[in-house]
Amino acid sequence: MIKLQHMGKYGRRNVAECSSGIGNWMSIMSFISYFAIPINLLVLLICRYPNVQVGATQNMDMLDVEEKSYLVRYLEHRDPVFWSLRNIFGLCILVEHLIIGIKIVIALIIPDVPSKVTEDEFRRQKIEDTVLKELRDIKISS
């Protein structure tokens, strides 16, 4: 009996503390994800194979067909009249804004905390209150 009282009083596990989120990391990850969208589109637009040096003074309109990126080659092959460099940049900006818009809509639709977790947290609080009341009643009767 003495051993059980000792275990019940001193050997219990600590009460688990809940976290309200991941703190500052959420804003950092959000910034990185928004920053990565235009960077990835620029990589698609500019990166080429074989490796061709890209410089600030380089005229993108004067490149040979083999020196252009695969995206530019594909679009110019489909319709060389419509897909000028200006229209390709416009397409990249449109795709970028579309992806950011979809990301925002998905973030608004999907809740941060699932409803099941919210219900369980509410139930857990009720159970804790009931257990504490029973423990107080046991201590009073002892």
Mean pLDDT for the chain overall: 80
For 112-130, letters b (16+ CB in 10 Å) and e give eeeeeeeeeeeeeeeeeee
CA–CA distance, 81 with 118 (Å, rounded to integer): 57
pLDDT bucket at 94, cuts 50 / 70 / 90: very high
What is the rounded CA–CA span in Å between residue 52 and residue 127? 67
pTM above 0.85, yes or no: no
Amino acid at 49: Y
pLDDT band for 105, please (50, 70, 90 cuts). very high
Q: Which segments of 1-142 does DSSP mark as H helices, in order?
A: 2-10, 25-46, 70-78, 85-109, 115-141
Position 135 confidence tier, pLDDT thresholds 50, 70, 90: confident
Contact 10, 36 (CB under 8 A): no
Decide if pLDDT at 59 tops 80: no
Tokens of 49: 């194979």
What tokens does 62 get? 């004067």
Count of CB atoms within 10 A of residue 21's CB? 9
120, 123, 125, 128: CA torsion to nearest 10: -110
The closest of 77, 97, 96, 76 to 87, measured between CA atoms, is: 76
The per-residue pLDDT for range 22-47, each reduced to its tens digit, is 878 888 998 999 999 989 888 887 77
